[in-house]
Amino acid sequence: NAGVTQTPKFRVLKTGQSMTLLCAQDMNHEYMYWYRQDPGMGLRLIHYSVGEGTTAKGEVPDGYNVSRLKKQNFLLGLESAAPSQTSVYFCASSLTSGLTYEQYFGPGTRLTVT
Amino acid sequence: AQSVTQLGSHVSVSEGALVLLRCNYSSSVPPYLFWYVQYPNQGLQLLLKYTSAATLVKGINGFEAEFKKSETSFHLTKPSAHMSDAAEYFCAIVMNTGFQKLVFGTGTRLLVSP
């Protein structure tokens, strides 16, 4: 079991460039999440998905798009990167959203936008 | 809405000393609370969770947390710190607004000196 994996681990973009971050999980989880982590702000939810073909906005969705075409994959896209999107991005997955659930996290992608 | 507050962005202890990381919550309904740990350059890993079964919750690596409703607290403790405990620790609460999702505190970095 690889758990939750993220690709790439590091990336540097110029302002205005686009990119896609890939998250994959092999635990057959229904729910998947994208967070960003910034110093002193903890983790903030960008978008999430409750199943294949579904997506929803989280706390800070502006400037990002997502897709969940396959149950095991959750893609995060930046159409026109801005310096404010410099952050560490984490993907997570969980079996359900029930009150005793646990989210499993990937190792993160460190993105710098210059 | 549910929220958590972590007091102290940095906590320094000596190896062998007591570790105490503070988390206070705000919730109008019985809360479900989590502690996660993030080691350098890694994703988040679940330490322990409170789901109302018992007020004293034991987690991995010798950590435990006690739920105190009267103090709206869920502080994390470990009797004797190890160098390997140096990491960032996040308290989180389940937010019950339709889709149940985690809301994280801002994190506390634990520094352990020899």
- Model confidence over A77-93: pLDDT tens digits? 999 999 999 999 999 99
Tell me what percent of the residues of chain B surpass a pLDDT of 90.
75
Contact between A100 and B32 using a beta-carbon 8 Å cutoff: yes
Q: Tally the C-alpha atoms within 13 A of residue B12's C-alpha that lie toward its C-beta.
A: 2
Other C-beta atoms within 10 Å of A51: how many? 12
Segment A91-107 mean pLDDT: 82
Contact between A97 and B49 using a beta-carbon 8 Å cutoff: no
Contact between B100 and A107 using a beta-carbon 8 Å cutoff: no
State the Cα–Cα distance between residues A89 and A73, nearest whole angstrom: 15
pLDDT digits (tens, 9 = 90+) for B8-64: 999 999 999 999 999 999 988 888 899 999 998 889 999 999 987 788 999 999 999
Contact between B65 and B76 (Cβ < 8 Å): yes
pLDDT grade for A16, boundaries at 50, 70 and 90: very high
In the 8-state DSSP scheme, what is residue B62?
G
Of the candidates B45, B100, B107, the beta carbon closest to that of A99 is on B100
State the Cα–Cα distance between residues B13 and B7, nearest whole angstrom: 16
User: What does DSSP say about strands B10-14 and B108-113: parallel, antiparallel, or unpaired?
Assistant: parallel
Q: Is B59 on the interface with A (CB under 8 A)?
A: no
**Tokens for A96?**
């359900």
Segment B99-107 mean pLDDT: 85
